[in-house]
């Protein structure tokens, strides 16, 4: 992607989240997850991306880690090319090289997880991503992590409801997004993550009532069998 095209795409991810009259949906493309195992190993990222777009998704999230999620940079490129939607690279970004790699893939945004970085590292990577024309979704799980994110200049903040305790068993806190919503300042774009619209999980109504701008939804869509219909149900 050339410099001119990259400049023209700067801010697309954030703008798409703010453009929706309803809670915007970031629809995720992933073949498997550590917590649930195989989800849809045969999915075609280009085809699924188009289905998400047609169903009303505002943005896409693509897992690019092969070992854990069966993804790749090629998946991200294919999803972006076929759908035209802004795409988040959802991976464990911890180095300057990772940020440049995301830029080279054509990502419109990348994920930075506060728990994986020091405050200084977070601020450095956040600023680098912005300078390259990418938005940043900064992920938090607690009030203390939210403070770190805000000090680093985060302007799109995701509240992740998934836990990974020392036992390595994944658990969910389906009320976390609701509890943390009042702590999120008005100037940031807010995203509820994990456990949205799954059986027994956080409902879209709860996400709406809590005042979130967007919800990142993966499993509920990947295994739905009809992602267009499922998205339309969630947005109804």
Catalytic residues: 28, 30, 90, 139, 160, 193-194
What does the block give as tokens for 24? 């915007």
Instruction: State the Cα torsion 76-81-83-85 to the nearest 10°.
Output: 70
Strands of the chain (E only): list them: 24-29, 32-33, 37-38, 59-63, 87-90, 109-113, 135-140, 156-160, 162-163, 171-172, 189-193, 214-217
Residue 164 main-chain phi, psi, to 5 deg: -135, 85
CB-CB contact of 105 with 73 (8 Å):
yes
State the Rg of the chain over Cα. 16
C-alpha 16/C-alpha 18 separation (Å) is 5
Distance (Å, rounded) from C-alpha 177 to C-alpha 192?
Answer: 6
Q: Longest C-alpha distance within the chain, in Å?
A: 48
Contacts of 117 (CB under 8 A, 6+ apart): 94, 125
């Amino acid at each position: 992607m050339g410099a001119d095209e990259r400049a023209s795409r700067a801010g697309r991810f954030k703008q798409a989240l703010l453009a929706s009259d309803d809670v915007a949906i970031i629809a995720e493309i992933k073949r498997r997850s550590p917590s649930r195992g195989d989800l849809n190993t045969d999915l075609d990222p280009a085809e699924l991306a188009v289905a998400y777009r047609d169903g009303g998704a505002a943005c896409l999230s693509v897992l690019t880690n092969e070992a854990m999620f069966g993804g790749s940079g090629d998946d991200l490129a294919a999803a972006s090319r076929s759908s035209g939607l802004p795409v988040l690279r959802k991976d464990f970004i911890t180095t300057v090289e990772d940020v440049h790699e995301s830029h080279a893939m054509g990502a419109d945004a990348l994920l930075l997880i506060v728990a994986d970085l020091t405050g200084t590292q977070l601020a450095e990577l956040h600023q680098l991503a912005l300078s390259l024309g990418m938005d940043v979704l900064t992920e938090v799980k607690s009030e203390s992590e939210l403070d770190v994110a805000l000090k680093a200049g985060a302007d799109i903040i995701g509240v992740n409801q998934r836990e990974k305790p020392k036992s390595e068993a994944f658990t969910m806190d389906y009320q976390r997004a609701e509890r943390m919503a009042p702590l999120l300042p008005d100037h940031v774009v807010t995203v509820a993550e994990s456990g949205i619209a799954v059986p027994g999980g956080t409902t879209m109504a709860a996400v709406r009532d809590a005042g979130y701008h967007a919800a990142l939804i993966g499993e509920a869509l990947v295994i739905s069998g009809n992602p267009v219909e499922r998205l339309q149900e969630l947005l109804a």
